[in-house]
Homo-oligomer: A and B are copies of this chain.
Amino acid sequence: MTRVTQADVARAAGTSMAVVSYVVNRGPRPVAEETRQRVLAAIEQTGYRPDGVARALVGGSTMTLGLIVPDIANEFFAELAGAVEHAARAAKRTVLLANSDGDVQTELGLLETFLQRRIDGVVIISKAPITAARMLEQAETRRVFLGAAPAGESSIGVDNFGGAVAATIHLVGHGFERIAMIGGPAGDEVAEARRAGWQHAITSLGAVDDLAFVHQPFTFDGGYVGARQLLGARPQAVFAASDRQAIGLLRAAADEGLSVPDDLAVITFDGSAASAYAVPSLTTVQQPIAEMAALAVQQLIEPDPQPLNAVLEVGLVVRRSCGCS
């Protein structure tokens, strides 16, 4: 039993392939109602399923979007991926997912693969935004950078600096003076902005003698290790650059016999679902994930004439870990 094609339907309906195409696509030419019914019946009867590959070959669009994240196992990216897929689905698009593992070569290789697949556009969290942008530009493929983005490219991000400032100020408001930070990887643009916000708030408020800061990956273990490095100096509070790290930090605090928030206040960044269920619940700077995803997908489907450079607002979700009731 071989594939049912448009020709089979045409034959069964006693009409031409063109007409079948017109009814399947509701255009671009009108079809007499009676003919339409015959075609519809033939489709039903033959079990015809349009071939997206052939369609893409002639039509140009694959109705497919690519998504490249560093690590889908990270809840933030997982939630983001879910949101992107939902937005894409609502727009009848399908999503190709790939992990770059935070590696530049891998990322570029993935991009190459996606380009060969002729995706209509890509949402990317890039480690090599300039190179990626160049590849995409010359392949005339739409893209939206999340986080780090080259000038002139569409990007969607959040106010990392402002969020970090708000988080730190909140801690200062609690009366803490020694506020350490577990930052992201050195060189990461997003991580640096969060660090800058923390530093700005700290120094402008004169809250600390020495700025205890460590670079760590955005992982549970990064948070754990960072905490071990920082806790010796007995900070009163720690700002973690991501929820994953904060959870690692919570575990480290427990291992050291430190009670959060009594012995150590914690505040973090992301606002993933996990942050709400940690013990204690994490006060966190919440990113508008669904909004970012919706905006990204929209931008790929019907791009603004000018590059979009969205910096979305974040909100501080106050829970228990900072010391608030």
Residues of A within 8 A of B (CB): 1, 47, 49-54, 56-57, 62, 64, 67, 71-75, 78-79, 81-82, 85-86, 89, 94-99, 110, 112-118, 138-140, 220, 224, 247-248, 250-251, 254, 273-274, 276-281
Contact A247 B277 (CB under 8 A): yes
Question: Closest CB-CB distance, A323 to chain B, in whole Å?
Answer: 16
By a CB distance below 8 angstroms, the chain B residues around A50 are 116
For the complex, what is the distance from the CA of A276 to the CA of B67, rounded to whole Å? Answer: 28
Contact A75 B72 (CB under 8 A): no
Top 7 nearest A-B pairs (CB, nearest first) are: A78-B78, A97-B97, A52-B116, A220-B277, A254-B279, A72-B82, A73-B82
Could you say which of B49, B140, B251, B280 contacts A116, with CB atoms under 8 Å apart? B49
**Oligomer copy total:** 2
- Chain B's closest residue to A2 (CB) is B140
Contact B53 A81 (CB under 8 A): no
Say whether, besides A94-B113, A95-B98, A247-B274, A118 and B75 are in contact (CB < 8 Å): no
Say whether, besides A78-B73, A254-B280, A273-B220, A96 and B99 are in contact (CB < 8 Å): no
A-B contact pairs, 28 of them (CB 8 A): A47-B138, A49-B112, A49-B115, A49-B139, A51-B118, A52-B116, A52-B118, A53-B118, A57-B57, A64-B96, A64-B117, A67-B97, A71-B82, A72-B82, A72-B85, A73-B78, A73-B82, A75-B274, A94-B114, A95-B97, A96-B96, A96-B97, A224-B277, A247-B277, A247-B278, A248-B277, A251-B278, A251-B279
- Chain B's closest residue to A59 (CB) is B53
